[in-house]
Structure 1
Amino acid sequence: MASTTFQLSRNAFGKLVLTDADGQVHEGVAPVRAFPIQSPERGISMVLPDGREVAWIDFIGDLPTSLCTLVQDELEGREFMPEILHIGSVSSYATPCTWHVKTDRGDTHFVLKGEEDIRRIGACSLLVVDSHGIHFLVRDMFGIDKHSRKILDRFL
């Protein structure tokens, strides 16, 4: 389905309601990114609670503003993956250890259980999973500041 062949609204309970080109109404749809790290603005599937796809969005920027806002708001509410902008310090270079970081959502600290909880995603991105299962993204390990890169190098 092309990205403009449906309408989107919220019902009285705040759930997304998608009306397709044939006029069929689908309640409780949710946007799911096909490539959340490498290409978050492209390839978004609108799925029903049972996982069935009812619409596809090639590029979120091609949507009318009202639809784009609804999809982005829903994605932000469902996804929580802070991006690490700076690593201030780590309690130890042996695991488990506590990391003090600055993210795009503010300063925080978390416990890294083991080095296996740092995974490479593509050529330059990393996914760091804390002891509670929260995923932190390092979008470009080569573009991060020198101090942070030095800490990362100890764990990679």
Structure 2
Amino acid sequence: MSFLPPESLKLELAPDGTLRALLPDRCGMNVQVLRAFPLSRDNQYFVIRDGKNQELGMLESMRDLSEQNTRLLKDSLDNRYFLPQITKIYSIFEKFGSSQWDVDTDRGRVQIASKALHEAITELSPVRFLIRDNEDNRFEIRDVTALDEESQKRFAGR
């Protein structure tokens, strides 16, 4: 896979609302942008693929992109990697191999139904956790120590 020079890439919305990538030697239609390292380096290394899943190349960062390219790239990533941040935990109950969560997120209050806690929670670091619900939606606790004291106790008592 080759790195794309940021100045050679032009992103635009096609009339049908899909993303198009214009490069000096080719044009990618129905483009998808993926993070190469979505959990560890979410603001670096972006894979650009066309609608046939063929890789057009990789961007190292958004740093030298035009304002329009940066906005379109961020919008595409936000749509692909919808990941609400848990900001408060009201309750966590586990019963018969499943768990119920009542939490606040940066998108509002939500009830989460998941498998048993040991199956639903992935520890990404000592303070960062990913929670996957029964429908494969993901929620993140970016820093458990940043939660209020009661939320931390509820999470620790899981």
TM-score by length of 2: 0.87
- Is the 2:131–2:138 contact (alpha carbons within 8 Å) kept by the matching residues of 1? yes
- Is the 1:27–1:48 contact (alpha carbons within 8 Å) kept by the matching residues of 2? yes
- The one-letter code of the counterpart of 1:63 is L
Matched with 2:143 is 140
Matched with 1:33 is 35
Task: Say which of 118, 126, 129 aligns to 1:126.
Answer: 129
1:101-116 → structure 2 map (5 Å cutoff):
101-115=103-117, 116=119
* Cα shift at 1:32: 0.3
CA separation in 1, counterparts of 2:44 and 2:73?
12
> Aligned-pair RMSD on alpha carbons?
1.7
* Cα shift at 1:93: 4.4
Matched with 1:97 is 99
* Cα shift at 1:46: 0.8
Give the number of equivalent residue pairs: 153
Aligned: 1:17 with 2:14: no
- Runs (4 or more) in structure 1 with deviation over 4 Å come to none
CA separation in 2, counterparts of 1:123 and 1:84?
16
Q: Compared with structure 1, are the counterparts of its residues 43 and 152 closer, same or farther at alpha carbon in structure 2 (3 Å cutoff)?
A: same
Render the CA deviation track for 1:26-46: whole Å, top value 9, x for unaligned: 101111012223322111111
Aligned: 1:62 with 2:59: no
Identity rate of aligned residues, in percent? 25
- Is the 2:101–2:111 contact (alpha carbons within 8 Å) kept by the matching residues of 1? yes
CA separation in 2, counterparts of 1:42 and 1:123?
22
Matched with 1:7 is 10
Render the CA deviation track for 1:83-123: whole Å, top value 9, x for unaligned: 11111122x24442321111111111111221211011134
Aligned: 1:152 with 2:143: no
- Is the 2:19–2:31 contact (alpha carbons within 8 Å) kept by the matching residues of 1? yes
* Cα shift at 1:55: 2.8
Which ranges of structure 2 fall in alignment gaps of 5 or more residues? none
